[in-house]
Structure 1
């Protein structure tokens, strides 16, 4: 049995976002630890997010570290690399060493990719939170995210991701086929360019842990079965 430590994206809401996936993993006999990060607190930034994640790992071993979206900037900065079995990046902002989240958007061309995907699908380029993030969530989970939503603080967006190399463990990249923030083809290209990894596509949008929790949990456990 494994321990899954689950890092949220910008704004936090870790226990809310990961609720269904954590329950599914635990029903399979695993331990799930959603990391609670108050991403709305301007006193906290990337170093603090990494320290909070280290505290969540605690004494656990054989950890599968799962990082959602901007959580990928936290993952390579943790101190407890020796506890990791593997790393999963989910709809992730994959950083280069020394890059800040604010720089990432321009460096990768994510805005252009989103606008092109919107044009191809006949969608407006107006940034509507419901249309971008909540479009594929059931009503009850959409309400969950509204209650747990936090406006991200600006602090981490200007901070460098302080790491030299990714942890020396297997790294998997999971991509939501219907992600409207970071289109699937864009994510796959970033994974190839920055990690030399062929990402895997699964159903769901940017908040796939809320829209497709069973499918996501099954994919995460599948990585263990393939060891």
Structure 2
């Protein structure tokens, strides 16, 4: 079809009612206040950025902990339309927020925070959660296959056209194995059918000068990750000079290990 790109090769605790309302607002990307409103003035706002095949609700448990500890939290919807476009969108969101800011990226979200934080003086720390932390000129696909072990290949994906391109989805029957093997199947079945796809051009789009060169970074390494091999995560964390924590977790470490994830974010915020 004219203009259509072919898919590229892939590589005081709140009440229960308040918690439910807070989860819905987080998933919608809303800036959340906390019960300890006065304490938020002295603590950074935490910006939680999801990756592909997911949405902001994956941060719910982590956000709940951060809210309890007096942080302001926002989990914006990542458009997943391409690295440059997604980074520009996040940068525009950051421009509406008072500093200081701590940016947290999961998976592809790590590429987005790496680019969106550049030249923003309000960003005091970057946190990568089982995420990509690219250097200038590197692509998502290049980093994903640099080390053996990823189970996200073309056989695990469905490609569907959209105006001007193709989106990639993880096949439902492969979703739990690739993405979230340590979560209950009834949870991953729902995640599979509600996943948000990423435009396939993102795989080969080169990253810009990384913000981790000038902003302190932290890295949560998921040892049992079937999407980004742990060896690749260690390589990127070491290169960025990040303070690292390793946990026994699948790719969705923020869901299976929310306390460890929140603890690292709180450490970065200090």
Q: TM-score range by the shorter chain?
A: 0.7 to 0.9
Give the aligned partner of residue 137 of structure 1: 183
Shift of 1:65: 0.5
| Structure 1 pair 81–141 and aligned structure 2 pair: CA distance change class (3 A) | farther
Whole-angstrom CA distance in 1 between matches of 2:136 and 2:64: 34
| Structure 1 pair 139–3 and aligned structure 2 pair: CA distance change class (3 A) | farther
Which of 85, 93, 113 is 1:75 aligned to? 113
Whole-angstrom CA distance in 2 between matches of 1:69 and 1:160: 16
Once the two structures are superposed, the pairs formed by residues 195-210 of structure 1 within 5 Å of their partners are: 195-197=240-242, 199-210=244-255
Give the aligned partner of residue 224 of structure 1: 269
Give the aligned partner of residue 228 of structure 2: 182
SS at match of 2:104: strand
Contact 2:175 2:192 in 1 (8 A): no
SS at match of 1:96: coil
Shift of 1:10: 1.9
| Structure 1 pair 11–135 and aligned structure 2 pair: CA distance change class (3 A) | closer
SS at match of 2:64: helix
Shift of 1:29: 1.0
Give the aligned partner of residue 21 of structure 1: 62
> CA offsets, 1:2-59, max 9 Å, x none?
211111112451x2221221122112110111120232xxxx2112211221233222
Unaligned runs of 5+ in 2: 1-42, 152-172
Shift of 1:131: 1.3
SS at match of 2:199: coil
Give the aligned partner of residue 46 of structure 1: 83
Whole-angstrom CA distance in 1 between matches of 2:119 and 2:232: 30
Whole-angstrom CA distance in 2 between matches of 1:223 and 1:178: 24
Whole-angstrom CA distance in 2 between matches of 1:196 and 1:134: 27
* TM-score calculated relative to the size of structure 1: 0.79
The structure carrying a bigger helix percent of its residues is 1
| Structure 1 pair 141–211 and aligned structure 2 pair: CA distance change class (3 A) | farther
Shift of 1:152: 1.9
Contact 2:213 2:240 in 1 (8 A): no
* TM-score calculated relative to the size of structure 2: 0.67
Which of 201, 206, 212 is 2:257 aligned to? 212
SS at match of 1:222: helix
Contact 1:138 1:211 in 2 (8 A): no
Q: How many residues matched? A: 205
| Structure 1 pair 73–186 and aligned structure 2 pair: CA distance change class (3 A) | closer
Contact 2:103 2:126 in 1 (8 A): yes
Query: What is the Cα-based RMSD across aligned positions, in Å?
Result: 2.4
Unaligned runs of 5+ in 1: 116-126
Give the aligned partner of residue 102 of structure 2: 64
Whole-angstrom CA distance in 2 between matches of 1:54 and 1:140: 35
Question: Does 2:216 correspond to 1:166?
Answer: no
Shift of 1:85: 1.1
SS at match of 1:178: coil
